Amino acid sequence: MPKRKNRSRFTVSITGILKDISESQPTTITDIAKRLSVSESTISRQVARLAKLGALHLVQKGKTKEVRITLTGKILL
């Protein structure tokens, strides 16, 4: 049986991400990851899901994405 990589069992909640963004907007995925002590890839996946639901608005600013919460996101809080 192959060994599994040791992965952190900590998962950041959707509410935690939305709350962080609402308190620090506009923000970036990198900044959210630093504040929540989670990998950028984890935040990026969650942010993409939330954006698809209409809870977040993403704007490409050069190499980074600016993240803002929408009215839908505020309702989900």
- CATH number, domain at 26? 1.10.10.10
Asked if the structure places residue 65 within a domain, the reply is yes
Asked if the structure places residue 69 within a domain, the reply is yes
**Range in 10-14, 45-49, 62-66 the model is least confident about:** 10-14
Is 9 strand, coil or helix? coil
Asked if the structure places residue 43 within a domain, the reply is yes
Do residues 55 and 70 make contact, with C-beta atoms less than 8 angstroms apart? Answer: yes
Asked if the structure places residue 6 within a domain, the reply is no
- For residue 67, which amino acid is it? V
- Phi then psi dihedrals of residue 59, to 5 deg: -130, 125
Q: By residue range, what is the domain housing residue 55?
A: 14-76
Q: Mean per-residue pLDDT for 43-61?
A: 95
Q: Mean per-residue pLDDT for 21-34?
A: 95
Asked if the structure places residue 7 within a domain, the reply is no
Tokens matching residue 58: 């993403």
| 38 closest CA partner among 29, 26, 51 | 29
The mean predicted confidence, pLDDT, of the chain is 87
Total count of domains within the chain = 1
Asked if the structure places residue 1 within a domain, the reply is no
